[in-house]
Amino acid sequence: MPSIDESEILSSDIPRWRRTLGQYRTPSALRGSYELAVTVIPFALAWILMYWALTHGHMWLYALLLLPAAGLLVRLFLIQHDCGHRAFFASRKVNDWLGRLISVLTLTPYDHWRRAHSIHHATSGNLARRGVGDVDTLTVAEYLARPPWQRLRYRAYRHPSVMFGIGPFFLFVLQNRLPAGFMRSGWLPWASTMGTNVAIAAVAGLLIWAVGLPAFLLVQAPVLLVGAAAGVWLFYVQHQFERTYWAKREAWNVHEAGLRGSSHYDLPGVLKWFTANIGVHHVHHLASQIPYYRLPEVLRDHPELRGVGRLTLLQSFKCVRLVLWDEESRRLISFKQLRRSSGLKLVHGD
């Protein structure tokens, strides 16, 4: 589980930390353009080479390029993410239009997603405001109060094959086609999703005309599905670790939730590049307008932040089994741990 050495940080004044981090919020047009170029150009080249390899029978090259292409798609999504926080470029208009363009590749309607994601930042860790932009999480008491069929449904939802297999496909390919959660919130969510759908259809139609439907699906579908699974995994481990933060409304604090409820996912260097430093998530939640390419500066200048919520790649795999928030011990636990502590059968057949 993550090494959480929070005593020095949490005893500090969080508003002071936010003021300190404010100096890193200024984006660079030159650096942003560079980051965009080294993501878009390799992604386009990887897609074209995968198509070439597929049509010329070089399946080894096709397979070799799949993971880098999916990683670059994840990186594009994280550029879109920074645009949504007005962090990638200084201009709000440039951020918004870049985010909308990228959303055609990520299948994620930019304006609708940005609104839902801002709610996530404003409510993360608040037990009274779950359900928008987060992973569904029940407390132990809530789970035990459910009838057996609802417990079974929750167990199915939290199963890795659903969470990281079926779930990413459902989220990016199906759910994002409608303004889920905002169906009655006016015309803006509908304009965002429907406009994105039309643009996706136009780009997909153009590519199908150019390369044919079978080739388009054989290149695009694996890249999209692997990238989507990686994206869901990243979001999962950023908030679903043992000593994360959940609190009831009266005890909840947005800044404490950001610092304590977000992990520092300390990945190997190449994965940090593909994931655009999103692993420095505790700092991101404290100051979301810091461009991702400046987050390493924060850890370099303030090394005391490195150990807060630190989670290595190997440690992160253990987070998959953590499914329920135990309000007594203030940690996420597994179904197995609940069985041991309660002596109860959680669902029929356990």
* 278-303: pLDDT as tens digits: 999 999 999 999 999 999 999 999 99
pLDDT of res. 85:
97
The mean per-residue pLDDT over the stretch 136-140 comes to 96
Reported as a single tens digit per residue, the pLDDT across 15-60 is 788 788 999 999 999 999 999 999 999 999 999 999 999 999 999 9
Percent of the chain past pLDDT 90, that is, above it, reads: 82
pLDDT of res. 8:
46
Short-list 165, 159, 109, 118, CA closest to 136: 159
Report CA-CA distances (Å) from 29 to 35, 94, 99, 228, 273.
10, 10, 15, 28, 19
Q: Confidence band (pLDDT; 50, 70, 90) for 9?
A: low
Measured on CA atoms in the order 197, 112, 33, 265, is the torsion positive or negative?
negative
pLDDT of res. 15:
77
pLDDT of res. 133:
83
DSSP β-ladder status, 264-266 and 310-312:
parallel
What pTM does this model have?
Answer: 0.92
**Do residues 268 and 313 lie in contact, with contact meaning Cβ atoms separated by under 8 Å?**
yes
| Residue 7 pLDDT greater than 50, yes or no | no
Q: What angle do CA 123, 183, 178 make, to 5 degrees?
A: 100
**Do residues 245 and 257 lie in contact, with contact meaning Cβ atoms separated by under 8 Å?**
yes
| Residue 2 pLDDT greater than 60, yes or no | no
Percent of the chain past pLDDT 70, that is, above it, reads: 94
| Range in 115-119, 222-226, 250-254, 280-284 the model is least confident about | 250-254
Q: Confidence band (pLDDT; 50, 70, 90) for 180?
A: confident
User: At residue 325, what are phi and psi to the nearest 5 degrees?
Assistant: -90, 120
